[in-house]
A and B are shown apart, each in its own frame.
Chain A
């Protein structure tokens, strides 16, 4: 019988055939710890009695949620992280290079077929290169640091097949929002999502990242894209035969198959205050807004900033609207500066911030208050995420967000 991508990854890792529902122990290829939880990971690691990291080169420590510090106590996390890295010989430490989920693939820490765990729920992002990656808590992270292993339940797979050509004003973000709306916030709980079809094959790795990033918003354990030539180029590798085989077999067992025609997609938004509360932008048009945020590990990549710049070129954001743009990494920031994208955005009135989690996690850079409305490209619109619990957060694609910034109201991005 054939296998799904996740079944092949786990099989290759454990050296035995696996089936959905089985509990197996996997050898972990890479772990990611971010600044918010490093103090807790460090104290649990020592409480467990470990004296060395199983393989310090496989661990990556990234400061992003608190960078640069907005409160005095934030610096405590950096101090504890630095001490932990020094004590246990961790060399892979990023102190101001960008958001963890961007850096893990951008800096080459994740390859197709890898098994990766991170202390952040959006760790599902690395499925964009065909890796099994998922979020865990700090106690389990401490346990992996000591043992190099973790138990997992082999998930069932939902296949999502998308074929055809997307309308010009639709982005990968609209696809994943629509899917989450259709599945519901728990529609993929404990399961793997596997994306396939020529629409997905024609997508950039950056677009696949936006989709894999949000898989957790439907409860998924991971989201997988079969590695191809684009993946190889992005990762700077030549695919091995084993990596090339990381596709869902024709006779693999799927618990559900969902098919979409790319031509049927329209720009959508996730409305307050649940990510699965998804509506066509056309139904929301006219609502006045106070702020627009373009950034985050979901949509802070070069193609996102360029898509926004394309709409904002020779135009200006509406009076009273604040447009905040946050590139996902220093590399993206420099590329966007070098190719003129930041110049266009700044000229249009954007506030361009340093690469970090910033507003997405409600820590800094554009906090909102009661009654305010924000259109944002990140991944969560939970109550209170970007300020008070009376802030309305609409999640959208960079194209929709940029169009709204110009208009000062929710509007469907135009097709040229």
Chain B
């Protein structure tokens, strides 16, 4: 089980990791600034295995791959949103951060709730309920299963 960190709709990549930090040489140096403008406590309180839950159009804006990378580096297990912006979605899969569309979850969980995602089943379990997710196309699930694009190229 992991804890829910909840965000609204149209969360852009500047809000996930702002422009002034993406030119830091390493992801470790960027980590403390994740979601800084929306939730200054996020980076300090998120634990390995926790989840980010959002409404529509998560990750809109720039092409910065640092956005999913910094979430993965902080231990975020998956991002579950009503919908994703396309570059963020591709980047997340390529770096091995599970992202999955779930239309219902956002309206039924609160920040701090405990939940569990099964990518294989495409199901989220939270507060004694099950929520159906839209499974990834096979090709993308394949990349994710192998740990991302670099790992999949090695195969």
> What 9 pairs between A and B have smallest CB-CB spacing?
A137-B65, A186-B57, A137-B91, A135-B63, A121-B63, A382-B14, A139-B94, A121-B62, A138-B65
Q: Which residues in B have some Cβ–Cβ distance to A below 8 Å?
A: 10, 12, 14-15, 18-20, 22-23, 25, 37, 56-57, 60-66, 83-87, 90-91, 94-95, 137, 139, 148-150, 153-154
Q: DSSP class of A's interface residues: helix, strand, loop or mixed?
A: loop
Give, as a whole number of angstroms, the nearest-CB distance from B86 to chain A.
5
Q: Are B63 and A137 in contact (CB under 8 A)?
A: yes
- Residues in chain A near residue B154, CB distance under 8 A: 49
C-alpha spacing A158/B124, complex, angstroms: 33
Asked if A55 lies at the interface with its beta carbon under 8 angstroms from chain B, I say: no
Asked if A119 lies at the interface with its beta carbon under 8 angstroms from chain B, I say: yes
Asked if A76 lies at the interface with its beta carbon under 8 angstroms from chain B, I say: yes
Query: A170-186 interface mask toward B, CB cutoff 8 Å, 1 = contact, 0 = none?
Result: 00000000000000011
- Residues in chain A near residue B61, CB distance under 8 A: 121, 380, 382
C-alpha spacing A186/B63, complex, angstroms: 15
Q: List 9 A-B contacts (CB under 8 A).
A: A47-B150, A73-B23, A76-B25, A121-B61, A137-B63, A140-B149, A151-B139, A189-B86, A382-B14
Give, as a whole number of angstroms, the nearest-CB distance from A361 to chain B.
6
Q: Are A120 and B62 in contact (CB under 8 A)?
A: yes
Name the CB-closest residue of A to B86. A190
- Residues in chain B near residue A138, CB distance under 8 A: 65
Asked if A77 lies at the interface with its beta carbon under 8 angstroms from chain B, I say: yes
CB interface residues, A 128-151, toward B, < 8 Å: 135-140, 143, 151
Q: Are B150 and A362 in contact (CB under 8 A)?
A: no
Name the CB-closest residue of A to B19. A362
Query: A1-43 interface mask toward B, CB cutoff 8 Å, 1 = contact, 0 = none?
Result: 0000000000000000000000100000000000011011000
Q: Are B87 and A384 in contact (CB under 8 A)?
A: no
Give, as a whole number of angstroms, the nearest-CB distance from A120 to chain B.
6
- Residues in chain B near residue A380, CB distance under 8 A: 61
Given A48-B153, A76-B25, A189-B85, answer yes or no on A136-B14 (Cβ-Cβ < 8 Å): no
Q: Are B37 and A40 in contact (CB under 8 A)?
A: no
Asked if A409 lies at the interface with its beta carbon under 8 angstroms from chain B, I say: no
- 17 new A-B contacts at CB < 8 Å, known A136-B91, A186-B10, A219-B85: A37-B63, A37-B64, A118-B63, A120-B62, A121-B63, A137-B63, A137-B90, A138-B65, A139-B94, A140-B90, A143-B149, A219-B57, A361-B19, A382-B15, A383-B15, A384-B37, A389-B37
Q: Are B14 and A383 in contact (CB under 8 A)?
A: yes
C-alpha spacing A252/B63, complex, angstroms: 31
- Residues in chain A near residue B150, CB distance under 8 A: 44, 47-48, 139
- Residues in chain B near residue A48, CB distance under 8 A: 150, 153
Given A23-B139, A185-B57, A361-B19, answer yes or no on A221-B25 (Cβ-Cβ < 8 Å): no
Query: A350-375 interface mask toward B, CB cutoff 8 Å, 1 = contact, 0 = none?
Result: 00000000000111000000000000
Give, as a whole number of angstroms, the nearest-CB distance from A160 to chain B.
19
Query: A187-208 interface mask toward B, CB cutoff 8 Å, 1 = contact, 0 = none?
Result: 0011000000000000000000
